[in-house]
Structure 1
Amino acid sequence: MDAQAEESFREFVANRSSALLRTAVLLAGGDRHAGEDLLQNALMKAAGRWHRIDEPEAYVRQVLYRQQVSRWRLKWPGRELSVAEPPDTGTGPDASAAAELRLVMRGALARLTARQRTVLVLRYFEDLPEADVARMLGCSVGTVRSTTHRSLARLRALAPELAALGPADVERQPSRDYAPVEVRP
């Protein structure tokens, strides 16, 4: 890698690594160390092909997803993450409720299968359309839909306290998969 490409790569890592790490940790089921490993491997692959990459962030994200798919295809047992104390992100009742919600969500996501977790992260955290998720995971759109449906049902069963965040409390936003349709009488 020449000096200009190396500087470009270093700038990309400095600017985008925190956002990419958040995605990697979510894909790894909340395990920060596994997420760091995922990101490090993705960045190593990107560094080797840096001069041929047109969209670096899209390339690194694609590598992250594919590496995670490869990990869950292996029959390794999942590791449980133990934390001594919940994270302290602020003070007051709102901060403690937010921390409790994160812990509940993290625990529920960790109990899903890697495939279920990956589909939910891509659909709802990355806000990708079903077709893009299907293309990334190498499956059909129907598989993504059914996996999403089953994953959400399992998530609701694992964490019934998340029911308070149901459709009645959350303002619905139109999906990017379909164009809005105006219905006239």
Structure 2
Amino acid sequence: MTPALQVDGHPGVFVVGDFAEIPQPDAGEPLPMLAQVAIQSGRQAGRNIGALLREDIPQPFRYKDLGTMATVGRGFAVADIGPVRLSGQPGFLAWLVVHIARIAGMRTRALALTNRVSGYLFRNRPVRLIVGPRGSGPRTAPRPGMTQEQEGDTRCRSEWSGWAGWAPTWSGG
């Protein structure tokens, strides 16, 4: 891959986001696979495609670190933005403001904010159970070639429910 995000030997093919292992100029290690790297490299690839269409020279990608934020739990987040470090509820509020502000469109922002506030106030976390086809009902004996434990595992399992963690379920089997 070239510094202009092009595939070596294929100047019309660009690589961005998680597909790209973009080395940092000074550190030698690749940039982390974060949304900001993907967004910035995508914009640069777009500018470079425009440059190729104008028969100009594509410019190398330069990453600007805007900081890192992550939610850790209900109402708790960490934020590292330049010299500012936030954690707990201040970090969560900073995370919420940045994420709502980055969403395109007022209607989508309002919906996302409503969902976040509702989730925070009412602690509603979606849980999805995989229970098998409708009408199959409980089985009294395992299917041929399966033990009782394997059969129970296929009837009901917990799934990832988002940032909040695992949603425990009981298979009842």
Q: TM-score, normalized by length of structure 2?
A: 0.26
Normalising by structure 1, we get a TM-score of 0.24
Of Structure 1 and Structure 2, the greater helix share is in 1
Structure of larger gyration radius = 2
Higher relative contact order (CA 8 A, sep 6+): 1
